[in-house]
Structure 1
């Protein structure tokens, strides 16, 4: 539909029809849905009228080609102007083919494979009738107490930005109108949701605008640069004002400064939450503040339909604000081609061919394997030799709760458990014995005895440990981020046997691993690995795949360190300062300052050496490019992948600068004894940051550049910038 036709359509709409476009309701409200009429509990309290349902512009949570076709058909009959519905859902890390949770995907450091996973998720969703996914989540995370860290790709703004762009490309492709196998992306949560105080979900966020712009906004801007069609507001405050009613954030920065002309949408119920936040007296004021801030769609509350008309008629809100919002929504529907084809992409016949097909499961297995991070491998305990008899023990030995808390359409019954993976791998079933050992949060004497018996019969023990999915994700904040006591007891009892022991971890956050890493020989972080998790982990355990994952979020030594992250600032009394007394420096008296496992860390079954780091020049100007080279060699006996990481430090800034900042990385594959020169390029633009006056610029002076396998073990050289 041409732009003029959209304007003509807008002129035909009544004010109620316009406001309806700004409303999003859940599936049960709509005729044709399998849940039609099942309005109970909180949904019933919304008092949704039939007229509002007829005028509503978008649907939350519908799925399946048949259901969505039925809802759309009925809606087109009931709507006076036959404006099609938008169907939106949470397709976070897969539709029915479930990939690892995003924190796991982040640990793959594989941008291309992340994009491929988003493309597959889009393909399965689109054939089922969905138009918009509420992804990617690009919130930067530093506090593992927050359950939603599993939905982020980590603690670094550069790495998050690279994944944000990749996922938007994967979801949307190059042309949404022509490519019916793609979805519109909705980047979330704008902004700084990941900085909630104490890691408590929905809690206050308090930071300077300089920190907001430098650390928390870059991944959003990257997603928008990649073309994300929608932005979702966050639940939290930003500088004392909830994001959903924050004019500076949503209109001044997002729309005016960045030029975003796409659709904005609240998170579930967030518009009405302006009232308990204490910035709106009632729903009318909440509607006023949100529309002034530039919020287009209200999800699952009725402040707009109940009050916006009166606000406009009373001249408190200009109708042009409403018109602008409707234009953006109609334009999105137009870009998706819904006016010409309201059943865009959906096909009951193709659902069976596309969803969970072998190609998709193969990619899920590959990404699950690349997401696994080998944290410890004392005495080369891994890989397991097929001649060794294995005891698989623990609550996740046969548990299919490995998809993660945001696997909305994932089917646990078809998820490959670790038991199934190992059974399929081994020809000789006598080499494998299984015992539960404990539940996730409880243990019995009988379970423990069975576990010890199984362990005594084995040559090597694999402990399958972790959190159940409800222990992370939204509203999954935890103050204690160790494994539950029952599992720590199980580990301790097995440790007493003195046999080689491997811990495989299924979880959605970095954990305090005391009681695990110190009582096992090898630790493999598998996250919630998705549909093919058991197969992928088995291939790593038996050496069919060499692990290559690197942490995208630091693992704390203790929860008392939190937040602990690699790119922190120095202090005036840094630990180790030569001119300070030992006590009077910035440190803990009872634990180290450093995390247990740092950002970028991950082991392999082979070893790599880094040598002969060199720079192309001693310094650069704004017109130069500095080449940073290093020779990396596979010094082991098997081929392996290595992620070579580049960091920079501005030694003297106008404001304090981080001790290290990731500026680039390259994944390389080396055969045994093969070596490769890895080259990075640095420009003056990469050295810029937000100064105290929010000017984005670089400083003259000395810089240090670091290259290594993680943020801690690095080679270092210096250069100068002269402007």
Structure 2
């Protein structure tokens, strides 16, 4: 009887929730329809226009921007601060219909409290912390009047030459999907009308991370099978999680620029995935279709609207041509109404029609940005994003005594600790590595420091790093009056009587991110020369890497005793790095993107498909290179700890399954070292025989486990037929019966294996 009443309660609750959602949707439809009926054609097209004017207009809410908003010519714009956002909404309230403005911003990994770059975040393998980082970013951004973020970037990429790998979650579609969902939950919370949640914008739809040669904005050409199996899962996952908007990519899809691809924006996004939010282009991507050879501005603007694009970001294509195209009959009023409706619905969902100043509370602006709790979270998350790549002779953790030389162009750097896509760089709030080592090491540690080298002495790279945009972003390289030899001699002098040397090397913020592709992804020669000289002192050297992408580190791995991949760790960079170096936190991060030995191996990724002649070192006529080892320098899922772990053999509850059976696979994990630590236990599945060629293995689950020294724990995974599904040659999502291999281990290369058969 109790079960019956519980069933009735659940049924009633679900019915009530469904009815409430239906009523809310009905109210929104009525409101938006009524508003549309009052709007002129010009006002409707104005809602479809995202324009920020000059960057100064955004920062100050300038007069030209305000004038356009009052005329109803702008539906969305950018905003960086409370004052600018208030001016923008004030201007909207002076327009004829007083339609509030969507204020968007690239809040990629924090607003003012900056977290590690997204690639670093993904290496934490901690979805709760990743979600928390987005939640804090939403709290701070919304306190500044921002209600919409151009994030998360969920593009899968297998090419570390591409600068924007720093902004994504690596190479794996399953893991990318989990991170995408966590980010959307963090930004949007459980109620978009709350004044501390913001709308997510999933980007870039689609395939942007697969640009040829790793060059930004470059051509993409791939099969639909690769799209659906390897690249689409994170986009779909983010929309399934309820993301309110999406952004088009710059690349081609089946020969058509994404902003003009009706197959992508309507057939896949709207019809197949049932997305009901709005789509905005990336910056000026509508007029850029002219360069792709699709026609003049009027033609490509009509093409974008017909494809399913709702808002034109800074392209002036919709504003400048849609009225003419409507008169000529190449577009319809229904299409304009539909696009405008989706944008108005987004504003309704955000609660802006109830209160245009919902995100403009001066008390929140004063009290909810870069709080102590936020900084504590940034420090914790940064430490958990770092990956220990090497630790010979237990060089780490460092002792909290003696003399430590902290050397390198990033030893005292601050803005570069934030990485790419940070629009508010408050150097005063950033902890440098030198400061962090002093803070965490305590009074028994003497810290000496020297720059040692420039970031680069290469003239071509140096010129590009000193661009006007780099200066605007606060990451322009400072001119160094001393010669490279003078800097090197100073570094060697301060290191001469140190007990250990910490070399902080890598990439500046301007060397990764958008429009920052690199053909060579090693540490610049100026820094490597410094490192070689430090190694030649014979003292223990710890290399701390500050960077936004996987690097080629062959010499470093061969010669440096300890290497810590710190990425660009954010506001609390120095403190978090010191927490790891001194062992206050035992590193547990794992790589989510393969580190190649050479750019000649790229693209290199763990879940590749086999050739008809798989690699065999004993057979010349197999798929391999002659001049380098063929395996990765560091594989997907790799990461060391200050302790050690031992994996037992896989135990299965059954080896023959059928239909909806559930497989239980487990291993016993033992901490065999002398320090408590976390291990990321990874589950992979191999499908050796199918109707299409399948990857050699695919990540399907993981567990992050804390063990004390000597402690054992059984790690249990449940596998269902859902984990076996893939898109077949007909693009039908299903699984096929047969043999499967279950793999569990510490990374994608080092696993235990067990075989099963699964029938329909």
- CA-to-aligned-CA distance 1:512-567 (integer Å, 9 cap, x gap): 01232222100000000000010000011111110010000011111110110100
2:682 corresponds to which of 599, 621, 645: 645
Q: How do residues 505-524 of structure 1 correspond to structure 2 at under 5 angstroms?
A: 505-524=545-564
Alignment partner of 1:82 is 2:98: yes
Distance 2:306 2:70 in 1: 24
3-state SS of paired residue (1:431): strand
Contact kept in structure 2, 1:234 and 1:244, CA below 8 Å: yes
Alignment partner of 1:108 is 2:148: no
Distance 2:279 2:227 in 1: 20
Distance 1:165 1:259 in 2: 17
Contact kept in structure 1, 2:68 and 2:74, CA below 8 Å: no
Please report how far the alpha carbon of residue 410 of structure 1 lies from its aligned counterpart in structure 2 after TM superposition: 3.2
- CA-to-aligned-CA distance 1:204-234 (integer Å, 9 cap, x gap): 0010001001111110110001100000000
Please report how far the alpha carbon of residue 301 of structure 1 lies from its aligned counterpart in structure 2 after TM superposition: 1.2
- CA-to-aligned-CA distance 1:90-117 (integer Å, 9 cap, x gap): 0000000000000000100110000000
Contact kept in structure 1, 2:432 and 2:573, CA below 8 Å: yes
Distance 1:227 1:35 in 2: 31
2:736 corresponds to which of 675, 699, 709: 699
Between 356-365 and 52-61, report the one with greater CA deviation: 52-61
2:599 matched residue in structure 1: 559
Contact kept in structure 2, 1:403 and 1:412, CA below 8 Å: no
2:23 matched residue in structure 1: none
1:715 matched residue in structure 2: 752
Q: How do residues 273-672 of structure 1 correspond to structure 2 at under 5 angstroms?
A: 273-279=288-294, 281-400=295-414, 401-428=416-443, 431-442=446-457, 444-576=484-616, 582-672=619-709
Distance 1:418 1:100 in 2: 15
3-state SS of paired residue (2:620): coil
Alignment partner of 1:159 is 2:175: yes
Alignment partner of 1:15 is 2:32: no
Segments of structure 1 that go 5 or more residues without pairing to the other structure are 40-48
2:259 corresponds to which of 231, 244, 255: 244
Counterparts in 2 of 1:373 and 1:289: CA distance versus 1, 3 Å: same
Contact kept in structure 2, 1:57 and 1:86, CA below 8 Å: no
2:186 matched residue in structure 1: 170
1:131 corresponds to which of 147, 150, 154: 147
Please report how far the alpha carbon of residue 571 of structure 1 lies from its aligned counterpart in structure 2 after TM superposition: 1.1
Distance 2:377 2:370 in 1: 11
1:222 matched residue in structure 2: 237
Distance 2:359 2:103 in 1: 12
Contact kept in structure 1, 2:643 and 2:672, CA below 8 Å: yes
Contact kept in structure 2, 1:27 and 1:59, CA below 8 Å: no
Please report how far the alpha carbon of residue 181 of structure 1 lies from its aligned counterpart in structure 2 after TM superposition: 0.4
Please report how far the alpha carbon of residue 688 of structure 1 lies from its aligned counterpart in structure 2 after TM superposition: 1.2
Distance 2:69 2:637 in 1: 50
1:43 matched residue in structure 2: none
3-state SS of paired residue (1:681): strand
1:675 matched residue in structure 2: 712
1:69 corresponds to which of 53, 74, 86: 86
2:477 matched residue in structure 1: none
Q: How do residues 192-207 of structure 1 correspond to structure 2 at under 5 angstroms?
A: 192-207=207-222
What RMSD, in angstroms, separates the aligned Cα atoms of the two structures? 1.6
TM-score (norm 2): 0.91
3-state SS of paired residue (2:259): helix
Contact kept in structure 2, 1:440 and 1:486, CA below 8 Å: yes
Contact kept in structure 2, 1:566 and 1:599, CA below 8 Å: yes
Distance 1:247 1:56 in 2: 26
Please report how far the alpha carbon of residue 499 of structure 1 lies from its aligned counterpart in structure 2 after TM superposition: 1.4
After the TM superposition, list the runs of 4 or more consecutive aligned residues in structure 1 that deviate by more than 6 angstroms. 29-33
Distance 1:164 1:430 in 2: 42
Aligned residues: 708
Please report how far the alpha carbon of residue 138 of structure 1 lies from its aligned counterpart in structure 2 after TM superposition: 0.3
Distance 2:97 2:55 in 1: 20
Please report how far the alpha carbon of residue 611 of structure 1 lies from its aligned counterpart in structure 2 after TM superposition: 0.4
Distance 2:558 2:59 in 1: 53
- CA-to-aligned-CA distance 1:383-409 (integer Å, 9 cap, x gap): 011233211111111011110111112
TM-score (norm 1): 0.96
Counterparts in 2 of 1:412 and 1:302: CA distance versus 1, 3 Å: same
